[in-house]
Amino acid sequence: MSRSLRRVAILAIFLFSAPALATNGYMAHGYGPKSKSIAGACVAMAFGAMCAASNPGSLAVVGNRLEFGAALFAPTRGFKADDNAMSPPYGSVPPGDYESDNDYFLIPHFAYNRMLDEKSSIGIALGGNGGMNTEYRDDIFRGFNDPRNPEGCASSPAGIDLKQAFLGITYSRKLNDQHSIGIEPIIAIQSFKAEGLEPFQAFSNSPDKVTNNGTDYSYGGGVRLGWLWQVNDQLNIGASYQSKLYMTEFDDYEGLFAGQGDFDIPSVIDLGFAYKFVPEVTFAFNYQRINYSDVDAIGNDGDIMFTTPGQGLGCNDCLGFGWDDVDVYKVGVQWQYRPDLAFRAGYSYATDAFDGDQALFNILAPAVVKSHYAVGFGKKLEGGSEINVAFTYMPEETVNGTNPNTGPQTGEVYMDQWELEIGWATAF
């Protein structure tokens, strides 16, 4: 990648990434206010250019569109460590209730679609695929300090910051009156930073590549494929597949991640339908599968004991976040109250990303939110433009557990969040 392109990519990640822990693991529950107002049940809805991020096969039927907007995202996340740890040599987290800073984030989005002819279109979508962000004021890992190595003592703040952004360019085509398909090459960029993890350097293959190395960048891509079947005037069926996005390694953190800094973005499968009970009311359902276990840094079990120097972090079989594949079930409804005003609502439920025995590293990424309650509306304005608004509330979830490195110490990680997104769109 040339220096100029690299600068553009770095600028894009700061403008269009989601710098907070997202909602289904670290994947966004939807893209754009229309999708988010029905809890992401968008794969068969075909009602906007941002649908390219869910189903690129839909763009051939949405027409010429320009869309942009931003979301205010507010997570509350943290953990509680109980006062029941085993004494040294086993490490422990100091007892207490710890809440992460950085509670408000602004997340933009942009999409454009143009019909090339009556059957085909080309579009572009720019947005964030999620991320992880925690910042604890305390040196939370000081219980793992080795008094013989003062330079390896935990510092504060402690936490991680992972940002991801994607640029998708979509070609979509109608095969006939019922079927349309789309292909979307994806360019992705990630940034990562870790702080306060000094005690874990002793158990890494590359101890100087574990923490406090500033921000590192990773580049790569993959492809998303989509299909939309307009069965009749009442029923749509949609499906999409996003391949694993193969990324360059985080060289400055090769001692932290399993796979020597390798941190690919997992593949995703979406299936769903949309059904009009009456002309004014549409019901939508989506099933989504996020394959976190295919990425070692995310999926490797977090029950590896820190007993042998150089064998806990950084190698192919070393410690990861211990995440399982996540199944997400989404339902949504749109009520076209009048031609210029639509009301929307939705609910989604995701299976657990990790179990309680994967607790230690997941205090850095407490992805425990499972339910999403969404409402929103769309108002058409003069001149063919429209305003869309979505509000999503994710109630607090907790995971109780422990980790072999903390002996019998117990605790819990917790998280809740809300999001307000406003977008402007126009058809032309």
- pLDDT of 19 reads 45
- The CB density around residue 205, as the number of other CB atoms within 10 Å, is 17
392-407: average pLDDT = 79
- pLDDT of 307 reads 56
- Listed in sequence order, the DSSP H helices in 287-392 are 296-299, 359-362
Count how many Cα atoms sit within 13 Å of the Cα of residue 320 in the half-sphere of its side chain: 24
Confidence grade of residue 87 (pLDDT, cut at 50, 70, 90): low
- The CB density around residue 356, as the number of other CB atoms within 10 Å, is 17
In the chain, % of residues over pLDDT 70: 87
Measured distance CA(399)–CA(362) in Å, rounded: 10
Name, in order, each residue with C-beta under 8 angstroms of 117's C-beta and a sequence gap of 6 or more: none
State the total domains in the chain: 1
- Average pLDDT of the chain is 87
Model pLDDT for residues 136-178, shown as the tens digit of each residue? 988 888 887 877 777 788 999 999 888 888 999 999 999 999 9
> Is the backbone of residue 40 left (phi > 0), alpha (psi -120 to 50) or beta?
left
- pLDDT of 228 reads 98
Model pLDDT for residues 252-296, shown as the tens digit of each residue? 999 998 888 999 999 999 999 999 999 999 999 999 999 999 998
> Is the backbone of residue 152 left (phi > 0), alpha (psi -120 to 50) or beta?
alpha
Residue 20 has pLDDT above 50, yes or no: no
Nearest alpha-carbon partner for 54 in 233, 182, 179, 173 = 182
Pairing label, strands 96-99, 281-290 = unpaired
Confidence grade of residue 356 (pLDDT, cut at 50, 70, 90): low
DSSP for 143-205 reads: GG--TT-GGGS--SSBEEEEEEEEEEEEEEEESSSSEEEEEEEEEEEEEEEEES-GGGGGGBS
Confidence grade of residue 222 (pLDDT, cut at 50, 70, 90): very high
Confidence grade of residue 391 (pLDDT, cut at 50, 70, 90): very high
106-117: average pLDDT = 94
Residue 17 has pLDDT above 60, yes or no: no
- pLDDT of 405 reads 62
- Identity (one letter) of the amino acid at 262? D
Nearest alpha-carbon partner for 290 in 321, 323, 326 = 326
Highest-confidence segment of 213-217, 257-261, 381-385, 405-409:
213-217
19-31: average pLDDT = 71
Measured distance CA(268)–CA(262) in Å, rounded: 19
Phi, psi (degrees; rounded to nearest 5) at 129: -95, 5
Helix (H) or strand (E) holding 282: strand 281-290
CATH of the domain at 140: 2.40.160.60
Measured distance CA(190)–CA(165) in Å, rounded: 7
- pLDDT of 15 reads 45
Name, in order, each residue with C-beta under 8 angstroms of 418's C-beta and a sequence gap of 6 or more: 74, 391, 392, 393, 394
Measured distance CA(173)–CA(177) in Å, rounded: 11
Map tokens 């921000």 to a residue.
215
* Of 177-181, 276-280, 298-302, 359-363, minimum mean pLDDT range: 359-363
Residue 407 has pLDDT above 70, yes or no: no
Residue 56: DSSP 8-state: G
**R_g of the chain, CA atoms, integer Å:** 22
- Asked whether the CA dihedral 34, 37, 41, 44 is positive or negative, the reply is negative
Domain span at residue 216 reads 3-427
Residue 251 has pLDDT above 50, yes or no: yes
Confidence grade of residue 190 (pLDDT, cut at 50, 70, 90): very high
